[in-house]
Amino acid sequence: MKPQLLRVTNDIVHSFSVRRDTVPCINNHWHYHPEVELIYFKKGNGTQFIGDSIKRFQSGDVVLVGSYLPHYWRFDDAYFNNGVKTCADVKVVHFNELFWGDSFLNLPENRVIKTTLECAKRGIQIKGKAKQQIADLFNTHLNTEGPGKIIFLMEALMAASRCKDDQLSSIAFHHNVDDLDKDRISAIYDYSLAHFKNVITLEEIAEVANISPSSFCRFFKAKTRKTYTQFINEIRIGNACKLLIENKINVKQICYESGFNNFASFHKFFKLINGKSPLNYQKEVLAENGHIN
């Protein structure tokens, strides 16, 4: 699929971009860029698309996205509802891999950073102590100037190196930047996110994509490396994870609120995608020590 090429601009006195976003619609679309992106969601919840990976993102998450890897963070509807004050707070770094010179990453001492950037081409979900460390670095050094700014980035990448095996997109994922199907894929994504709680027929989603039902199946599998059924179930399970974390309704209610009409199917797909049952997932998440501030 072809996401939108995003131009990341740097001013003349900085070699890479560091910024804070408080508006949830910033870059709220399927896009890619040559720069590596390190993003910290201090406040923000929604659905995360990185390559062919779909999962929930929530406050406290940190992700490293490699150059030219398509990605898209769609904030929950609550951030866009009129009269409801739900704020986002996102801190993000964009940098070219070679901004510090052609030979820097080839130094023996920097091998771990180079390897981490290679792994980031599939996206890295930062976890555990590394997530907390990077969050602290953002909170302390967001407005740092001079050499301290480069040291901040190096320390963040060193922390990320401990999670380089936690890659998001599959090794088979590949996007063709010459593809002209950006609008079609975006329409499919947007419609699916808006209607996943309902039964979406093949004819219905094919009409959204403006192609025949038989062509839709081939098209979607070729562009995403998964069937549409797999895709919509991943969105539904992502919503179930959100509701489990909120812990306001029971698991059977969550099943139906997430678009499943059969509890056995819900349980099966949840375990297939997350590797654990809904209740075990909920217990593990609720046992964690809160969100990063």
CB atoms inside a 10 Å sphere around CB 130: 20
Write the DSSP string, the chain: ---EEPPPP--TT-SSEEEEE--TTTT-SSEE-SSEEEEEEEE--EEEEETTEEEEE-TT-EEEE-TT--EEEEE-GGGT-TT-----EEEEEEE-TTTT-TTGGGSGGGHHHHHHHHHGGG-EEE-HHHHHHHHHHHHHHTT--THHHHHHHHHHHHHHGGGTT-B-S-TT----TT---HHHHHHHHHHHHHHTTS---HHHHHHHHTS-HHHHHHHHHHHHSS-HHHHHHHHHHHHHHHHHHHT-S-HHHHHHHTT-S-HHHHHHHHHHHHSS-HHHHHHHHHHS-----
- pLDDT tens for the chain, residues 1 to 293: 445 555 555 554 467 888 888 888 766 777 888 899 999 999 999 888 898 888 889 899 999 999 988 888 888 888 887 666 678 899 999 999 988 888 999 999 999 999 999 999 999 999 999 999 999 999 888 777 888 889 999 999 999 999 988 999 987 776 664 455 667 887 888 899 889 999 999 999 999 999 999 899 998 888 888 899 999 999 999 889 888 888 889 999 999 999 999 999 999 999 998 889 999 988 887 776 454 44
pTM of the model: 0.75
